[in-house]
Amino acid sequence: MYDATLAETVYFRGHDDDVIEGYCARPLDGASRGGVVVIHHLPGYDRETKEFVRRFAVMGFNAVCPNLYTRLAPGASPDDAAALARAQGGVADEQVVGDVAGAMRWLAALSNSNGKVVTIGHCSGGRHSFLASTHLDLAAAIVCYGGLIVGETPPQLPSMVPLVDRSPLVRCPILGLFGNDDQFPTPAQVDELEKTLQSNGKDVEFHRYDGAGHAFFGPDRPAYRVEAALDGWSRIQAFLDRHLAG
Amino acid sequence: MCTYVTETLPVTGSAKGPDGWIRVTDATVYFDHPAHALAEHTLNIDVRRPEAGPAARVAVELTADSARELAHAILRILDDPSVVSLG
């Protein structure tokens, strides 16, 4: 079995036709396959997020993560860029959608693309993955403990408006993975999101994990919960196999 | 990530990072997941000089208890009668 993958920094056009940076990983065997846009969390375009990108390539998909802070802090370390982004109130939703759309076009242009793309994000990236599902023609979207889909805009980060009212606009199936000990979002907020999506006739698959809180997928953090993370990865693999087939 | 609880404020002074001293003009204070500290959430402070670029900052990530102790210590010092008269 030929199992080579390529991981590298690439550049493509995002929101407003700006050239932005992205990190991609993809199998090199030439078989037709779908793509995954990985949307990084508020702490930035960091090593952990790039590890997720490479994992998706090993799982059999083309993957790319757009650097949402390209314009703000080109060439800066991820934590410095994230500190600046936070100080400036975050990144506008419209810009995120444009950058994700650019990443989708980049994936679709790959010679082995089957044209299907799923988004995934953790934390604020989970919110952005949900946001993308209301604007873009995705095969599906994955939300890992996305905060502020339900809730109130924090006064210090005006870019983080709640999105649950946009549930009627969701265009694709949604996989949601949440920890029951999380406060951002709380279990009650997860329930509200699930019910709202279901009442709007959306295709929803939510999983909740006892003993897990926020960031349970992060292996380098005290929040890591191995059982939740392993089950979550198996749910992600099955979901991607189903929605990116063909 | 994901409390989003953040305050920003102007500050006057200096901070020392790996490249030496910088005159700082801005601070960001927030409670959220750390980049480095081994805790699920920490009180994070960036003192920054934005005009010198995103890397011109000194960052600390402290557990909630130690951040409170630090804050109390700062206020005790500033409120000491021998210091107030100099302020």
- Can you give the CATH number for the domain in which A65 is found? 3.40.50.1820
Could you tell me which residues come within 8 angstroms of residue A103 by beta carbon, excluding any fewer than 6 positions away? Answer: A12, A14, A22, A37, A64, A65, A66
- pLDDT greater than 50 at residue A49: yes
Beta-carbon separation of B28 and A83 below 8 A: yes
- By residue range, what is the domain housing residue A106? 5-243
Beta-carbon separation of B54 and A83 below 8 A: yes
Beta-carbon separation of B55 and A76 below 8 A: yes
How many separate domains does chain A show?
A: 1
- pLDDT greater than 90 at residue A182: yes
ipTM (interface predicted TM): 0.81
Alpha-carbon distance of A87 to A49, in angstroms, equals 21
Beta-carbon separation of A145 and B2 below 8 A: yes
The partner residue sitting opposite A213, judged by closest CB among B8, B26, B40, is B40
Report the gap between the CA of A222 and the closest CA in chain B (Å).
6
A214–B contact, CB cutoff 8 A: yes
Segment (H or E) for A120: strand A113-122
Question: What does the pLDDT read at residue B2?
Answer: 62
Q: pLDDT tens, B14-66? A: 999 888 999 999 999 999 889 899 998 899 999 999 999 999 999 999 999 99
Mean pLDDT of chain A: 95
Q: pLDDT tens, A97-152? A: 999 999 999 999 999 999 999 999 999 999 999 999 999 999 999 999 998 999 98
HSE-up of residue A222 (Cα within 13 Å, Cβ side): 11
Alpha-carbon distance of B35 to B32, in angstroms, equals 9
Q: pLDDT tens, A206-231? A: 999 999 999 999 998 899 999 999 99
Question: What does the pLDDT read at residue B1?
Answer: 45
A35–B contact, CB cutoff 8 A: no
> What percent of chain A shows pLDDT beyond 90?
89
Using the Cα atoms of residue A21, residue A100, residue B44 and residue A47 in order, give the sign of their dihedral.
Answer: negative
- pLDDT greater than 80 at residue B3: no
Beta-carbon separation of B2 and A184 below 8 A: yes
